[in-house]
A and B are shown apart, each in its own frame.
Chain A
Amino acid sequence: MKIAVAYKWAPNPQDAAVGADGSVDWSRAKPAVSEYDPVAVEVGRRLADATGAELVGLSVGGPDVASPMAKKAALSRGLDSAVVVADDALAGAGTTPTGRALAALVQRLGDVDLVLTGDSSVDAGAQMVPAVLAGALGWPALTDVVAVSGTAGDLTVERAHAGGSQVLHVTGPVVLAVAADAVVPRVPGMKDILSAGKKPTEEVPLADLAGWQTAPVEVVATAGPELKVRKGQVIDGADPAAAVTALVAALRADGVL
């Protein structure tokens, strides 16, 4: 039995530059395993250990997804093996082709009743891939998952819910998007990275996947959020007492107090 975890080799948004026209320049951004995906790996690891399942990482993207660095970074976090599709055609792909390509990989893998994903990717953050992936597989998807127990195909799933939580019993195959704070993922140590270098990874040619191209959704444009015009008033804090007086006066003048 296998549990799959979908992970993204994503550029770090801290190094991205947003132009005045809303365009995003990712050229200086260094890729890494997307920030919240290790949480899904950790949830998967614990479940796999408890049930004797194999934990397989799945990733699709541009050529660097198959780089030794990317594979080691993912495998050192607790996966048993990885299957990736690394193709120029999938570099920076949107949520629909990504979700569909992942679904095709899951089908190809076979013997999978549970796919875990992170909450959202660190770069685009669309929170769409789990739903597209589940839709393409014809499986249900549950988001905001904070705890999972049982065995794949017969699971008890806890979801964070406004003002409380929801516990669901799920039978049959399912896609679970794990909340960013579900568990604290392990920090890979030297031995983890060493053994990651020896774990099996399979690279599947994109041509072997069917049905990923259909992309009825297209990004028309991106734009930065409009900034509210602020007063930009700065009060000198050298003399704290005077600063407080000035601040209170300013807030009064604007009717805040």
Chain B
Amino acid sequence: MSEPTAATGPDVEPDFDVIVVGGGIAGCVTAYRLAQAGRSVVLIERGEAPGSKNLSGGVLYSRVLEQVFPDLLTSAPIERRITRNYVQFLNATSSVGIDYQDARLAEPVNAVTVLRARLDAWLAERCEEAGVFLMPGVRVDRVIREGGRVVGVRAGDDELRAHVVVAADGVNSFVAQEAGLREKPPTHHLAVGVKAVVRLDERTVAERFHLVGDEGAAYAIVGDCTLGVGGGGFLYTNRDSLSVGVVLRLDDLVKRGLRSTDVFDHFLGHRFIAPFLEGGEIAEYGSHLVAEGGLEMVGHIHTDGMVVVGDAAGLTLNTGLTVRGMDLAAASGIAAAKGIDEALTSGDTSEAGLAGYRRELFAGFAGKDMETYAKAPAFLERTRMYEEYGLLLGDVLHSVFDHDLTPRRHLSQVVRSELKRSPVRLRDLLSDGLAGVRAL
């Protein structure tokens, strides 16, 4: 060790090398990797059972987690392999969709559906096997700081100390805020997700979505599903259930005076969505915040004695068609474990000593993607996306397919006249199109 720090000083012997707060994907991956490297790790999770408090839409881009668990696809509780992506512009009485199916998405597997209550329990079990000390049912209340650095955590009357504390406590990370590392995110950086798992039998799921074997479909939906609120809906197939929900921009929701549950109910009852769910039974229901600030939200992710991973570090990407957070959580866990392991080896767990984490993160796909999509949040704040384009598309197609005995016109004329009727200006279309191409 180069120099003794407050945590490693002669008087207080740390209980563990590393304390990880939060047993979601980011926390489990960080803890697992560090235990594999021979470090003593405690994983503190407030839920009595890991995963019990967690919620995702459910499409996991799985390659990165396979790097950590090579047997992921055969051993983990995976629901279906996604081979069909459906992009849907949903209006009140019309719907326009792009149906993309591709056998190449099945081999090698690219994305799978998961249910967090099952996946997180599996991850926690793997952590325990690797030697992580699992501590469920404990909510961390405070971060202990001494001599300007983080040295441990407090829960109730108890304190635990470590060389490094990992804040993996999810969006709105209280641990990182406590440590003075991050501010409370502004509402335009947050969205609220409402989701239900609707149980059907396996055959019904396969029939309704034209699926074979363990292949699955993912619907990304914009428009009337959110009653025009910025955000979108999703509908994902699990083995014998559907994950269905909405993600709504918090500031827009508040501005329109709507409640997330009303939007959610409207979506589930929509004439083009309800038939998928018919006869199903609601097995799970929940709501959760989503980080949507993109790169701007990432900011500081390490300080003296602490690193921040996953949602806690603002690592979520909403590109309009996909919400990604689980894969980024895993990637940040891998990077953090590497950075922490190096810092522990060198004996320097100060901000400078832990900087390897940030370097590693931004050298990999996760950090690069955050940079690539840096403009996405601003683009998605353009509200025309959520109402007017879907209607315009629907009206154009209606004019094409509705043979009402008026003489037919060329498609270009139809588009022009529908554009004239629509509140969308050609200028908007060009500007949004250009911004979209640049941001996504």
- A interface, CB within 8 angstroms of B: 17, 28, 30-32, 67-69, 72-73, 187-191, 193-194, 197
Contact = CB atoms under 8 A, between A and B. Distances in A.
Contacts of B52: 30
Contact of B138 (A17, A30, A67, A189): A189
A28 B137 contact: no
A94 to B, nearest CB: 25
Contacts of A69: 124, 128, 134, 136
Contacts of B196: none
A13 to B, nearest CB: 14
B158 A189 contact: yes
B158 A190 contact: yes
Given A69-B128, A189-B138, A194 B133 contact: yes
Q: Which 4 A-B pairs have the closest CB atoms?
A: A30-B49, A190-B158, A189-B158, A191-B158
Contact of A197 (B44, B133, B160): B133
A69 B133 CA distance: 10
Contact of B135 (A17, A30, A187, A190): A190
B158 A30 contact: no
Contact of B128 (A28, A68, A193): A68
Most buried by A among B121, B135, B155: B135
A67 B128 CA distance: 10
A176 B250 CA distance: 54
Contacts of A31: 49
A190 B160 contact: yes
A193 B48 contact: no
Contacts of B119: none
A122 to B, nearest CB: 13
Contact of A30 (B121, B133, B134, B199): B121
B156 interface: yes
A64 to B, nearest CB: 10
A37 to B, nearest CB: 14
Interface string B12-32: 000100000000000000000
A189 B137 CA distance: 9
A194 B14 CA distance: 13
B137 A188 contact: yes
Given A28-B117, A197-B133, A190 B138 contact: yes
Interface of B: 15, 42, 44, 48-49, 52, 117, 121, 124-125, 128, 133-138, 155-160, 199, 281, 283-284
B52 to A, nearest CB: 6
B43 to A, nearest CB: 11
B70 to A, nearest CB: 23
10 contacts: A17-B199, A30-B52, A30-B121, A68-B134, A69-B136, A188-B137, A188-B138, A189-B156, A190-B160, A194-B15
Nearest to B282: A17
B44 A73 contact: no
Contacts of B284: 28
Nearest to A28: B283
Nearest to A19: B281
Contacts of A197: 133
A190 B158 CA distance: 6
A234 B337 CA distance: 56
A189 B128 contact: no
B189 to A, nearest CB: 32
A197 B121 CA distance: 19
A190 B155 contact: yes
Contact of A193 (B138, B157, B281): B138
Given A69-B128, A69-B136, A187 B156 contact: yes
Nearest to B284: A28
Contacts of A30: 48-49, 52, 117, 121
A73 B159 CA distance: 19
A46 to B, nearest CB: 19
Nearest to B121: A30
Given A68-B128, A193-B138, A17 B158 contact: no
Contacts of B42: 194
A31 B50 CA distance: 11
Contacts of B135: 190, 193-194
A41 to B, nearest CB: 15
Contacts of A72: 134
Contacts of A28: 117, 283-284
Given A28-B284, A32-B49, 18 more contacts: A17-B283, A30-B49, A30-B52, A30-B117, A68-B134, A69-B124, A69-B136, A73-B136, A188-B137, A189-B138, A190-B135, A190-B138, A190-B155, A190-B159, A191-B158, A193-B137, A194-B42, A194-B133
A197 B155 CA distance: 18
Contacts of B138: 188-190, 193
A194 B52 CA distance: 22
B48 A32 contact: yes
